[in-house]
Structure 1
Amino acid sequence: MNYKRAFFLLAFILLNLTPAFPQNREPVVRKDVPLDSIRLSDPFILADQRTSMYYMTGTGGMLWKSKDLKKWTGPYKVVKTDPDSWMGRNPMIWAAELHAYKGKYYYFATFTNRDVKIDTVRGNAIERRASHILVSDKPEGPYVPMQDPVYLPADKPTLDGTFWVDKDGKPYMVYCYEWLQNWNGTIEKIELKPDLSGSVGEGKLLFRASDSPWSKERDEAGNVVPNKVTDGPWLFYTQTGKLGMLWTSWVHNIYTQGVANSESGTLDGPWIHEKEPITPPDYGHGMMFRTFQGKLLMAVHSHREDAKGRYIRIPQLFEVDDSGDKLLVGKNLRH
């Protein structure tokens, strides 16, 4: 995927998400909606033991809920941002995640203020975008801001923040530093305060997009080079105790998900990338959860473009075996 095509696709997402999910507009709630009838990028499912309910969120800032993963009710508006903050009155919301931690629920998401430009790189204006965390006492929200107005540097576009408690017992946000500015996307970590209300210190590099052996694109001269995109990190332990990370990029125009493994068993790595992608082509931005019956599933979205070049993304569930040192992805539960 060359950079001109990437800019076009990103611009299309931005233009089409903005009118679809304004915060001052109440969504129409539907019941008994099959999973494959929901269009949603970056799906994330929290299996909440306290309520015996599955909660699904993702890009767009809305929430769906289900008792059985088959029929869903939603979407519900669950986010209350501060219009006087850097996010502005109506931020775009990408890749939201829900994490239960120490008796509260935390909403990790990417917020974009399209009215603020932080940089111009290669003739392209970069909007104010950053990973951030909100909090609620209930999984269905509302999720509201905490103490710190900023978690990550204001002059860097960051996205797809996820949550991890490392072996040192400290909580961290793992996130992407977007390729639009650095032209070689990275995945980084930053320590969080014990109550997740802010960050501590500065971010630290884990790996770069160019470290991947499987992601590919053509440069302006037509040479095949590593793809510059890092997307959707998700941390996990296998049952043998190995620390791994799902993350997504592209193989030319194919949306693709791979795995990196930490040799030290901590976020500090070094991170060694598996040579081949872990999911079929055109599936990505994955996360994993256990059902109330104990089955490990991976939630991803399928990716395709229609005749007009518009993204079509639908949540999908795959069975996963984590009993060995490496994940084995099984059948798609849609089939």
Structure 2
Amino acid sequence: MFIKTGIIVALLTVQLTSAFSQNRVPVIRENIPLDSIRLSDPCILADERTSMYYMTGTGGMLWKSKDLKNWTGPFSVAKTDPESWMGKNPMIWAAELHPYKGKYYYFATFTNRAVKIDTVGENVIERRASHILVSDKPEGPYVPMKDPTYLPADKPTLDGTFWVDKDGKPYMVYCYEWLQNLNGTMEKIALKPDLSGSIGEGKLLFRASDSPWSREKSTGGPNKVTDGPYLFRTGTGRLGMIWTSWIDDVYTQGAVYSKSGTLDGPWIHDKEPITPPNYGHGMLFRTLTGKWLMSVHSHRNSNGRYIRNPHLFEVDFSGDKLIIGKPYIP
């Protein structure tokens, strides 16, 4: 399993390195349909201040739309410090936009490929971590805050997302990558009140192998990949999380729910995936007209190249759990 998934990671890196770079000069295009955009891990912010939708994801770029149908972009919005641990030209994965207390925060995974932190088996592990940037405006630019790091330098972490728990305190929920620990985990870490740094150490929420639906083709056992957490609360007050792994060769998303209603869990997994095959890394947002949707990307292999496009699904979590409806066409 590990060798195979390592090959997938390597292929994605070779194919998409230029797309990850924040320093490439984007060519701005207008009136682009959503499903014509090549983008992994799409995250959409419906901003009431500007009556505009802002979409980001892997690559550190931003798209804008007034109607979810036609988009303008991509715009470069992440302004990292070249003297920081990220280096001069970090790869950027799975960026998310979160408004909080009058500002806008950019949660993303940054990779400095020039720095190697470990070797596990055949996998050389690069310096990679979830981090947070800030801006006064949804369109950025997003810049670093006080703390140079949020998570340990000797651990590869990714896909950080934001949640304010029942205690009223802000947290980052993130993945500790399977490439090092050989069984990916979902973890949380407390954040400072202004999100400018982290507090204390990370805490385990669950492991990839806890999932009843993920599966590795070569062994028949559970897959070891954790990817793309995003949190929500149902109409009954139940805390849930969507996250992504694999079933054989199929990129797949499932749901897990906290028995306590807080990040501390324990977390109880749905027995079956919640989205169609080859869709994953989703997030939830409410449109400017009040409709809840899931933004997610499709994943397909075309002649050895992985093609990922954003899509929207209707959702209902007014009851006790998240139910995925039909595809939403703007």
- The Cα of 1:334 is off from its aligned counterpart by 4.1
1:302 and 1:314 in contact (8 A); partners too:
yes
Distance in 2 (CA, whole Å) between partners of 1:22 and 1:256 is 26
Task: Name the TM-score, length of structure 2 as normaliser.
Answer: 0.98
The equivalent of 2:187 in structure 1 is 188
1:206 and 1:267 in contact (8 A); partners too:
yes
1:35 and 1:72 in contact (8 A); partners too:
yes
- The Cα of 1:291 is off from its aligned counterpart by 0.5
SS in 2 for 1:18: helix
Distance in 2 (CA, whole Å) between partners of 1:141 and 1:57 is 11
Q: Deviation per CA, 1:307-333, whole angstroms, max 9, x where unpaired? A: 1x1110000000001111011111012
The equivalent of 1:258 in structure 2 is 254
- The Cα of 1:240 is off from its aligned counterpart by 1.4
Task: Name the TM-score, length of structure 1 as normaliser.
Answer: 0.97
1:279 and 1:329 in contact (8 A); partners too:
yes
The equivalent of 2:48 in structure 1 is 49
Which amino acid counterpart does residue 286 of structure 1 have in structure 2?
A: G
- The Cα of 1:102 is off from its aligned counterpart by 0.4
Distance in 2 (CA, whole Å) between partners of 1:229 and 1:107 is 24
Which amino acid counterpart does residue 247 of structure 2 have in structure 1?
A: V
Q: Answer yes or no: is 1:139 the counterpart of 2:134.
A: no
Give the alignment of 1:242-253 within 5 angstroms.
242-253=238-249
The equivalent of 1:228 in structure 2 is 224
The equivalent of 1:287 in structure 2 is 283
SS in 1 for 2:153: coil
2:232 and 2:239 in contact (8 A); partners too:
yes
Range moving further from structure 2, 20-29 or 168-177 = 20-29
The equivalent of 1:241 in structure 2 is 237
SS in 1 for 2:179: helix
> Which of 318, 322, 325 lines up with 2:320 in the alignment?
325
- The Cα of 1:47 is off from its aligned counterpart by 0.5
Distance in 2 (CA, whole Å) between partners of 1:208 and 1:36 is 33
Q: Deviation per CA, 1:28-87, whole angstroms, max 9, x where unpaired? A: 100000001001000000001111100000000000010000000000000100000000
The equivalent of 1:312 in structure 2 is 307
Distance in 2 (CA, whole Å) between partners of 1:24 and 1:241 is 42
SS in 2 for 1:55: strand
1:17 and 1:92 in contact (8 A); partners too:
no
- The Cα of 1:21 is off from its aligned counterpart by 4.5
Give ranges in structure 1 of 5+ residues lacking alignment: none
Report percent identity of matched pairs: 76
Range moving further from structure 2, 276-285 or 6-15 = 6-15
Which amino acid counterpart does residue 324 of structure 1 have in structure 2?
A: G
The equivalent of 1:4 in structure 2 is 3
The equivalent of 1:107 in structure 2 is 106
2:45 and 2:97 in contact (8 A); partners too:
yes
- The Cα of 1:23 is off from its aligned counterpart by 3.0
- The Cα of 1:16 is off from its aligned counterpart by 2.5
SS in 2 for 1:181: helix
Q: Deviation per CA, 1:229-256, whole angstroms, max 9, x where unpaired? A: 0000000001111100000000010000
Distance in 1 (CA, whole Å) between partners of 2:181 and 2:112 is 20
How many residue pairs end up in the alignment?
330
- The Cα of 1:25 is off from its aligned counterpart by 2.8
Q: Deviation per CA, 1:99-152, whole angstroms, max 9, x where unpaired? A: 000000000000000000000001321000000000000000000000000000
Distance in 2 (CA, whole Å) between partners of 1:280 and 1:320 is 13
The equivalent of 1:78 in structure 2 is 77
The equivalent of 1:119 in structure 2 is 118
Distance in 1 (CA, whole Å) between partners of 2:17 and 2:274 is 32
Distance in 1 (CA, whole Å) between partners of 2:7 and 2:250 is 15
The equivalent of 2:200 in structure 1 is 201
Which amino acid counterpart does residue 208 of structure 2 have in structure 1?
A: A
Q: Deviation per CA, 1:140-195, whole angstroms, max 9, x where unpaired? A: 00000000000000000000000000000100000000000000000000000000
Range moving further from structure 2, 191-200 or 322-331 = 322-331
RMSD of the TM alignment (CA)?
1.0
Q: Deviation per CA, 1:272-315, whole angstroms, max 9, x where unpaired? A: 000000001100000000011111100000010011x1110000
Which amino acid counterpart does residue 106 of structure 2 have in structure 1?
A: Y
SS in 2 for 1:19: helix
1:229 and 1:249 in contact (8 A); partners too:
yes
The equivalent of 1:30 in structure 2 is 29
Which amino acid counterpart does residue 222 of structure 2 have in structure 1?
A: P
- The Cα of 1:13 is off from its aligned counterpart by 1.7
